[in-house]
């Protein structure tokens, strides 16, 4: 009976085994593996941030507590205010233009055979360091058209429509019949038909004379007209040549414009031939001869790209050159995932290509465009290299940004307190943008 009862009794419950992690490792071992990374993170990120925050409340010498004075300087110091204004310009325009160009390149290159090669060329600047890109664009923006590509192109286009004078430094010499007049020169006395007039000038270097210039010739008198010569009245060597008369080695001023002026009005005009001779009609009788200011217009020297007014847009242009390829690659990857049937359905419904792009493609790419724009915003808040290298010393104050001002305050001006305050301020500016980007990435991941 006892044995039967014992046989019918249920077995004692077995205690559940302790569940191990998927990898079979214990938490202590995992913590040990993470410890080096945590130490490095603390040493390289957490400690510097904490130290900068503490240091931002000390004065320049570091031996006295100054409270929030350094933070007040962020909004009262002229250099920092200029840097803050420029940072706003950078954040508004640089990411927007880079993303827009990346979108255009990504959409257009999808339809051509050589799209891959084009993408490679556009993305190639990303392989160049900021230092190298800064040096390249410092040369591109050089004021001298013979060195700077930007001004070489600009001057070439300008001179196509408005040719500069070949005689910008020409002026009357000794015993000249010409006197200054409104940027040009005019004869002191009136001239009459049948008279030959000499209009000698000096001041043009021999290597700057027009290639078509020929040896100056004395004009022949014409009873019903006014004739004359305008030329370079200078011969090398002391006491060589005749003053006020063409010599064999002296060249004429081809293309020099001569105007006959009566009572302040131009009654006739002519242009000098290759040997400097010119002829005016009888209507010029009794007029004064004037060489207008257009003859002495200085050659166009281009745009001062790195001057105070254009230095920031110029540097933003170099940034766009570098980062448009980055935007293009990310947007092209997002474009590859767009359902083609949606685009085809829009075309079947009668939408043209612009409407498909604006109403279908861009909305579908909105998440990618947001990620690219926010990433570039974080990047431009910290821009330093391009501004430091491209902007010359004369306009670096006008191109100043927060990261550059941090460097100048901390190292050039020995004000580490203010430099730390700028660093903390930059961190506060970056954190909301980073948080937005992380939240969007998590939202995309959940989808």
For the stretch 100-135, pLDDT in tens is 999 999 988 887 888 888 888 999 998 888 899 999
Distance CA 343, CA 352 (A): 11
- Residue 11's pLDDT band, with cuts at 50, 70 and 90, is low
Q: Which residues contact 85 (CB under 8 A, 6 or more apart)?
A: none
Q: What is the pLDDT of residue 105?
A: 92
pLDDT(247) > 60? yes
For the stretch 279-310, pLDDT in tens is 999 999 999 999 998 888 887 888 999 999 99
132 φ/ψ angles, rounded to the nearest 5 degrees = -65, -40
Provide the β-strand partners of residue 265: 262
The interaxial angle of helices 416-446 and 366-381, nearest 10 deg, is 170
∠ CA(394), CA(399), CA(402), 5° rounding?
125
pLDDT(16) > 70? no
pLDDT(183) > 70? yes
| Structure token pair of residue 268 | 């006739």
Please state the pTM of the whole predicted model: 0.75
Q: What is the pLDDT of residue 252?
A: 93
Mean pLDDT of 390-414: 91
What is the percent of the chain with per-residue pLDDT over 90, rounded to a whole number?
A: 44
For the stretch 193-237, pLDDT in tens is 999 999 999 988 888 888 889 999 999 999 889 999 999 998 876
Average pLDDT over all residues of the chain: 87
- Scanning 337-384, the segments in alpha helix (DSSP H) are 340-348, 353-356, 362-364, 366-381
| Structure token pair of residue 416 | 């580490």
What is the percent of the chain with per-residue pLDDT over 70, rounded to a whole number?
A: 92
Question: Whose CA is closest to 287, among 270, 311, 263?
Answer: 263
Provide the β-strand partners of residue 180: 185
Q: What is the pLDDT of residue 240?
A: 65
Distance CA 52, CA 43 (A): 13
Q: Contact 418/55 with Cβ under 8 angstroms?
A: no
Q: What is the pLDDT of residue 275?
A: 93
Within a 10 A sphere around the Cβ of 109, how many other Cβ atoms?
19
Distance CA 56, CA 69 (A): 9
Q: What is the pLDDT of residue 1?
A: 46
- Scanning 74-128, the segments in alpha helix (DSSP H) are 78-109, 115-123
């Amino acid at each position: 009976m006892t044995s039967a009862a014992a046989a019918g009794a249920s077995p004692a419950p077995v205690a559940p085994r302790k569940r191990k992690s998927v990898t079979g490792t214990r938490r202590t071992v995992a913590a040990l593996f993470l410890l080096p990374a945590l130490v490095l993170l603390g040493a390289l990120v957490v400690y510097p941030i904490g130290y900068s925050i503490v240091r931002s409340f000390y004065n320049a010498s570091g031996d006295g507590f100054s409270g929030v004075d350094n933070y007040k300087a962020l909004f009262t110091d002229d250099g920092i205010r200029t840097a803050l204004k420029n940072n706003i310009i950078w954040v508004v325009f640089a990411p927007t233009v880079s993303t827009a160009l990346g979108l255009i390149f990504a959409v257009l290159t999808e339809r051509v055979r050589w799209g891959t090669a084009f993408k490679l060329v556009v993305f190639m600047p990303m392989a160049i360091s900021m230092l190298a890109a800064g040096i390249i664009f410092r040369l591109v923006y050089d004021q001298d058209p013979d060195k700077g590509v930007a001004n070489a192109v600009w001057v070439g286009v300008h001179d196509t429509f408005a040719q500069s004078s070949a005689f910008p430094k020409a002026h009357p010499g000794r015993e000249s019949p010409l006197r200054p007049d409104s940027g040009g020169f005019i004869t002191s006395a009136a001239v009459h038909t049948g008279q030959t007039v000499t209009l000698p000038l000096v001041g043009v270097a021999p290597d700057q004379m027009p290639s078509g210039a020929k040896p100056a010739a004395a004009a022949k008198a014409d009873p019903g007209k006014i004739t004359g010569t305008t030329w370079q009245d200078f011969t090398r060597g002391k006491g060589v040549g005749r003053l006020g008369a063409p010599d064999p080695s002296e060249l004429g001023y081809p293309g020099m414009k001569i105007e006959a002026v009566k009572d302040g009005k131009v009654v006739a005009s002519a242009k000098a031939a290759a040997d400097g001779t010119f002829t005016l009609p009888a209507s010029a009788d009794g007029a004064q001869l004037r060489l207008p200011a257009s003859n002495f217009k200085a050659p166009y020297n281009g745009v001062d790209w790195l001057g105070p007014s254009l230095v920031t847009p110029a540097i933003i242009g170099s940034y766009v050159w570098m980062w448009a390829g980055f935007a293009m690659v990310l947007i092209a990857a997002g474009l590859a995932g767009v359902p083609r049937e949606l685009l085809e359905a829009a075309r079947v419904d009668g939408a043209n290509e612009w409407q498909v792009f604006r109403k279908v493609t861009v909305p579908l790419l909105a998440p990618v465009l947001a990620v690219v724009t926010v990433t570039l915003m974080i990047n431009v808040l910290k821009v330093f290299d391009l501004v430091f290298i491209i902007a010359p010393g004369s306009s670096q104050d006008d191109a100043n940004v927060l990261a550059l001002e941090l460097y100048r305050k901390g190292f050039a001006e020995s004000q580490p307190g203010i430099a730390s305050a700028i660093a903390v301020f930059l961190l506060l500016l970056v954190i909301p943008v980073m948080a937005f980007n992380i939240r969007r990435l998590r939202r995309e991941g959940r989808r």
